[in-house]
Amino acid sequence: MATQDRVLLPAERDLALRHYESVFGVGTWLFHTAHWGTSESGWAQTFATFDDGDLVSTVDVFVRPVRDEQGGQAIMGGIGSVATAERARRQGHSGRLLEMAIAWMHEVGCDFSFLFTGVHAHYRRYGWKDTPLRERNGRVAESGPAAGGVRLEPMHVPTLIDRMGELYAQDNATRPLTHARSARYLRSGTVALMLKPDRAVFTYPGAADLRTYVVAEFGDDRVSVLEAAGDTEGLAPLGATVREAARERGLSEVNLRLPLDPTYDPLIGALAVDVAEAPCAWMMAREIRWPWERVAALFANPAAHHWPLDDF
Ligand SMILES: CC(C)(COP(=O)(O)OP(=O)(O)OC[C@H]1O[C@@H](n2cnc3c(N)ncnc32)[C@H](O)[C@@H]1OP(=O)(O)O)[C@@H](O)C(=O)NCCC(=O)NCCS
């Protein structure tokens, strides 16, 4: 059988989206947003293996500007959509595509690479190492400060995204590892990730005059806080609103995807009790242009953070 490894052509997008869907079993929205948020062409760099003309394996690279340890800019190569059709596994396809992705990240000047996985051994073979950041977990408080602010209607999220983008940019101007979101990313990636059906955006004091926002995800057994930005005055009332929304749904567990920064204490205090830190074991990184020591130090920095609205 003739096997060919190459960069995917724009005309082959639909083929790739069907491939992702068949391997991951989820809708194509994540792939659309990650690609559209990265490139004007609507398609980031995808490496693909064809076996007798059939697409059997893919690796995507999303090149993004992120903050370095000093608040300056670093270039991150995010690896995503790593998928081999079941019938074509254990033939080395994914491994070869990861090697192509590494060579390309060197070519385009990435400083380091970052990915999320449950199959760490696959990536360890090619030089990625465990670099867990930190999250916090707790229980939903029974009571606390008064709720305030409003829940945005989904149709208002795109209208208000530029304002939320400004608040995000102010809060994360020097926070290590955070994405310096472009207008393109905000309007495609951030909006799409805010509009997932199990998520809600809460703003304070109102919608059009928002000065603070919080994004929460209501799962089957827990509520997660995925993002918060803006005036600290709005954090306690919005934390309380998330607490009340979680209690209405009968949720008792809280997951906090917030930086370890006392700025967020009013939100956490209004929402949760028994809060404890836990490692995000699914995160791995690899050196590209930077030496490994610098990559490791960036992830070990207690201020470093990855916001889930930047997932890829
Ligand atoms: C993870 C995944 C992408 C691996 O794809 P793959 O093309 O099978 O990967 P490779 O062939 O490079 O490596 C897989 C295994 O085959 C082995 N292998 C590689 N070439 C081989 C060959 N010629 N003969 C026999 N085995 C081989 C590798 O050593 C590896 O073994 P191990 O997992 O037991 O250590 C694939 O299993 C998949 O799509 N899984 C579902 C989606 C997923 O989890 N994606 C990762 C998300 S982060």
The CATH number assigned to the domain holding 175 equals 3.40.630.30
Q: Residues 140, 275: one domain? A: yes
Q: Residues 60, 148: one domain? A: no
Classify burial at 177, counting beta carbons within 10 Å of its beta carbon; exposed 0-12, middle 13-18, buried 19 or more: buried
Reported as half-sphere exposure (CB side, CA atoms, 13 A), residue 261 has a value of 17
If you take atom 20 of ligand 1, which residue's CA is the nearest one? 92
Q: Residues 269, 290: one domain? A: no
Q: Residues 50, 116: one domain? A: yes
**How many other β-carbons are positioned within 10 Å of the β-carbon of residue 87?**
9
CA of 24 to the centre of ligand 1 (A): 15
Q: Residues 96, 163: one domain? A: no
Q: Residues 237, 292: one domain? A: no
Ligand 1 pocket test target in 55, 84, 283 with most atoms within 8 Å of CB:
84
Strands (E) located in 70-218: 73-84, 112-116, 129-130, 133-140, 150-151, 199-204, 212-218
Residues spanned by the domain of 177? 136-279
Ligand 1 atom nearest to CA at 89:
8
Calculated CA dihedral for residues 291, 297, 303, 306, nearest 10 degrees: 50
CA of 94 to the centre of ligand 1 (A): 6
Q: Residues 76, 193: one domain? A: no
CA of 213 to the centre of ligand 1 (A): 41
pLDDT in single tens digits along all 312 residues of the chain: 699 999 999 889 889 999 999 998 876 777 777 888 888 777 889 999 999 999 999 999 999 999 999 999 999 999 999 999 999 999 999 999 999 999 999 999 999 999 999 999 999 999 999 999 999 999 999 999 999 999 999 999 999 999 999 999 999 999 999 999 999 999 999 999 999 999 999 999 999 999 999 999 999 999 999 999 999 999 999 999 999 999 999 999 999 999 999 999 999 999 999 999 999 999 999 999 999 999 999 999 999 999 999 999
Residues at CB less than 6 angstroms from ligand 1: 23, 57, 82-84, 89-95, 117, 119, 121-122
Ligand 1 atom nearest to CA at 115:
48
Ligand 1 atom nearest to CA at 117:
48
Ligand 1 atom nearest to CA at 80:
48
If you take atom 25 of ligand 1, which residue's CA is the nearest one? 90
Task: Tell me if the pTM is above 0.75.
Answer: yes
Please answer whether residues 216 and 224 qualify as being in contact, where contact means their C-beta atoms are separated by less than 8 angstroms. Answer: yes
Reported as half-sphere exposure (CB side, CA atoms, 13 A), residue 269 has a value of 12
CA of 122 to the centre of ligand 1 (A): 7
Please answer whether residues 236 and 270 qualify as being in contact, where contact means their C-beta atoms are separated by less than 8 angstroms. Answer: yes
Q: Residues 120, 147: one domain? A: no
pLDDT of residue 1: 64
Q: Which residues contact 123 (CB under 8 A, 6 or more apart)?
A: 79, 98, 115, 117, 284, 286
Read off the tokens for 208: 């059009």
What's the number of domains the chain is made of? 2
If you take atom 26 of ligand 1, which residue's CA is the nearest one? 90
The separation between the first and the last C-alpha atoms of the chain, rounded to the nearest angstrom, is 32
User: How many Å apart are CA 262 and CA 272, to the nearest integer?
Assistant: 15
DSSP string, 47-97: EEEEETTEEEEEEEEEEEEEE-TTSSEEEEEEEEEEEE-GGG-SSSHHHHH
pLDDT of residue 240: 98
Question: Which amino acid, residue 155?
Answer: M
Please answer whether residues 216 and 223 qualify as being in contact, where contact means their C-beta atoms are separated by less than 8 angstroms. Answer: yes
Read off the tokens for 256: 């906090």
Q: Residues 79, 43: one domain? A: yes
The three-state secondary structure class of 179 is: strand
DSSP code of 42? S
User: How many Å apart are CA 128 and CA 216, to the nearest integer?
Assistant: 30
Ligand 1 pocket test target in 49, 89, 311 with most atoms within 8 Å of CB:
89
Q: Which residues contact 21 (CB under 8 A, 6 or more apart)?
A: 27, 28
Q: Residues 107, 170: one domain? A: no
CA of 128 to the centre of ligand 1 (A): 15
Q: Residues 35, 90: one domain? A: yes
pLDDT of residue 11: 87
Q: In what order do the strands lie in the sheet with 283-287?
A: 3-7, 45-51, 54-67, 73-84, 112-116, 283-287, 129-130
Summarize the chain as % helix, strand, coil (round to 5): 40, 30, 30
CA of 297 to the centre of ligand 1 (A): 30
Q: Residues 150, 103: one domain? A: no
